[in-house]
């Protein structure tokens, strides 16, 4: 039920703190969020690493043009949201709980879930914890193992072992390979990936359209 892209996202735009953003008190912390688009099925996009939501704004705007509402948020301890180090659970588990509460508050469930790297792992974990709330997964740059623990030991652009493993394990998944060359570098800057956003948005939108149609036929 998912798509995987091998791509790294970076957005050199205004910080979340510099814009007026809604904030909701979720599980004891203020979570900053914004919605791109005003109609259609919901898509929840989660960035990788510990970065704020800003890098996904350009792609969210392109997806919204296909008739979707895209929810972006700063996870706790990232971006403009509150910092709270507490509890004995893994942080990604806490993030999924916050996401479920925020999305329930905004009547945004069920939704499609998308993420890159840590955001992809969080999206998969959200599905495992709340399967009834997920219409499909749209995964970019799936990483784990040695990549997530330290410096990557395989290309950060191109096909990675973790992405191929996820594709094999997720029943009914589709794999879309961007026309890019493997690069073993720590950061891929904006000019090197922005040209692929229209293709990513188009393939995501087509996947969601097929999924919604299948749901309608099954109803």
Q: Is 198 helix (H, G, I), strand (E, B) or coil?
A: helix
What is d(CA 208, CA 87) in angstroms, rounded to the nearest whole number? 36
For the cut 70, the answer to whether the pLDDT of residue 159 exceeds it is no
Classify domain 2-218 at the CATH topology level: Rossmann fold (3.40.50)
What are the structural domain ranges in the chain?
A: 2-218
CB 164 within 8 A of CB 141: no
For the cut 80, the answer to whether the pLDDT of residue 21 exceeds it is no
Q: Please list, in sequence order, all residues whose beta carbon lies within 8 angstroms of the beta carbon of residue 96, skipping any fewer than 6 positions away.
A: 122, 125, 126, 129, 130
Q: At what angle do helices 197-218 and 57-64 cross, to 10 degrees?
A: 50
What is d(CA 129, CA 140) in angstroms, rounded to the nearest whole number? 20
Q: Report pTM.
A: 0.82
The mean-pLDDT minimum among 1-5, 6-10, 120-124, 161-165 falls in 6-10
What is d(CA 69, CA 37) in angstroms, rounded to the nearest whole number? 5
């Amino acid at each position: 039920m998912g798509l995987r892209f091998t791509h790294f996202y970076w957005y050199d735009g205004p910080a979340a703190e510099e814009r007026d953003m809604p904030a909701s008190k979720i599980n004891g912390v203020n979570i900053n969020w914004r919605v791109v688009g005003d109609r259609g099925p919901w898509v929840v996009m989660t960035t990788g690493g510990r970065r704020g939501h800003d890098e996904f704004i350009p792609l969210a705007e392109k997806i919204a043009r296909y008739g979707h509402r895209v929810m972006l948020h700063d996870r706790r301890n990232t971006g403009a949201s509150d910092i709270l180090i507490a509890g004995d659970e893994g942080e990604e588990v806490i993030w999924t709980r916050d996401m479920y509460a925020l999305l329930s508050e905004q009547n945004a469930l069920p939704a499609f879930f998308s993420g890159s790297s840590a955001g992809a792992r969080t999206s998969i974990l959200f599905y495992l914890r709340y399967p009834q709330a997920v219409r499909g997964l749209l995964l970019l740059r799936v990483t784990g193992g040695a990549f997530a623990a330290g410096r990557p030991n395989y290309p950060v652009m191109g096909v990675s072992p973790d992405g191929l493993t996820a594709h094999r394990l997720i029943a009914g998944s589709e794999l879309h390979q961007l026309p890019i060359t493997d690069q073993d570098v720590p950061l891929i800057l904006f000019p090197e990936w922005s040209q692929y956003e229209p293709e990513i948005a188009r393939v995501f939108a087509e996947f969601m359209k097929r999924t919604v149609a299948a749901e309608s036929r099954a109803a």
